[in-house]
Amino acid sequence: MTRIAVVGSINMDLVTLAPSFPAPGETLLGERFLTVPGGKGANQAVAAARLGAEVALVGALGRDAFGDELERGLAREGVALDHVRRCDGAGSGTASITVAGGENQIVVVPGANAEVSPAQVEAARSALAQADAVLVQMEIPLATVEATLRLGRRLGVPVILNPAPAQPLPAELLAQASYLTPNQHELATLLGADPAEDFRALMRRAPVPVVLTRGAEGAWYSADGGPAHQPGFAVEAVDTTGAGDTFNAALAVFLREGLPAAVRKACAAAALSVTRLGARDGMPTRAALDAFLR
């Protein structure tokens, strides 16, 4: 069984369905409201577990009702929580999400996610050392992201950095990752480049291989002859929330099959994920993904 370690955020998503996005100062009547477990770290952990991996999560929750609910939900998905700690001084993280027309807008309040520390990553060394791949995102402190990248490098374990939300990062830090998985805007932000610059040129400037997501177009990935394209899969999009997390999880789970195969399966898993409402409800099982690809 593939083993995946995820270092990242755990949130409760507060989701509002609306006919459109409100303009500044505008009040709209929404169509529906629901609470959905989320956070990039937790989402990627759940997506990897559904694809058949053995998953260990490193993160933090508050000692509140959201924390209790999130912990129970992750346990039900089979995610190992030995390295998820409960914090007294901060509530659990939240993400306020508005969904309209199949797109989304998100505001994240980190809460306990801001307490995930380099020391906590070091304490989880055994989980990272046993992993076939490590996933880390940027909804936790940058020092913790850096600690994860450097520890993975020392252990010889591939680390996938999903740079969202993106910020400019020095090339020396980016070089600690095994793979970067941005979209075009995120890659330009990381490199301090013009977002209008051709994304293939940006990929060549990155210090490590890039797997660049392009929505319905699919993904581009670094190859020996230059950036290669994996076309997307045609589906009817209902909600794109969580599609990137599903993509990253699948990429990690199937990385041992080689990058082209892993990117193809990641695009397929992400396509399946957008056909249902909610970040996790659309995340496919391994059986569902195999059937879709057939």
The residues, any chain, with a CB within 8 Å of residue 124's CB and separated by 6 or more, are 5, 7, 56, 58, 83
Does residue 199 surpass a pLDDT of 80?
yes
| 26 within domain boundaries | no
Binding site feature residues for substrate: 11-13, 39-43, 139, 245
| 25 within domain boundaries | no
Does residue 46 surpass a pLDDT of 90?
yes
Residue 271: CATH number of its domain: 3.40.1190.20
Does residue 267 surpass a pLDDT of 80?
yes
| 145 within domain boundaries | yes
Closest CA to 134 of 4, 266, 2: 4
- CA separation for the pair 160, 178 (Å, rounded): 6
Does residue 277 surpass a pLDDT of 90?
no
Q: What is the mean pLDDT of residues 86-115?
A: 91
Concerning whether 245 is annotated as a catalytic residue, the answer is yes
| 138 within domain boundaries | yes
Look up the pTM and report it.
Answer: 0.92
84 close to 108: Cβ distance less than 8 angstroms: no
**Could you give the percent of the chain with pLDDT greater than 90?**
85
| 45 within domain boundaries | yes
If you search the block for the tokens 């060394």, which residue do you land on? Answer: 125
Closest CA to 207 of 187, 233, 225: 187
| 250 within domain boundaries | yes
Phi/psi for 271 (5° steps) reads: -60, -45
| Structural domain boundaries, residue 187 | 3-20+31-293
- pLDDT tens string 141-162: 999 999 999 999 999 999 999 9
Domain count, the chain: 1
| 191 within domain boundaries | yes
Binding site feature residues for K(+): 239, 241, 273, 276, 278
Binding site feature residues: 11-13, 39-43, 139, 183, 213-218, 239, 241, 244-245, 273, 276, 278
Residue 132 has a pLDDT of: 98
**Could you give the percent of the chain with pLDDT greater than 70?**
100
Query: Cα angle at 59 between 111 and 186, to 5 degrees?
Result: 75
| 76 within domain boundaries | yes
**224, 245, 281, 290: the active-site residue:** 245
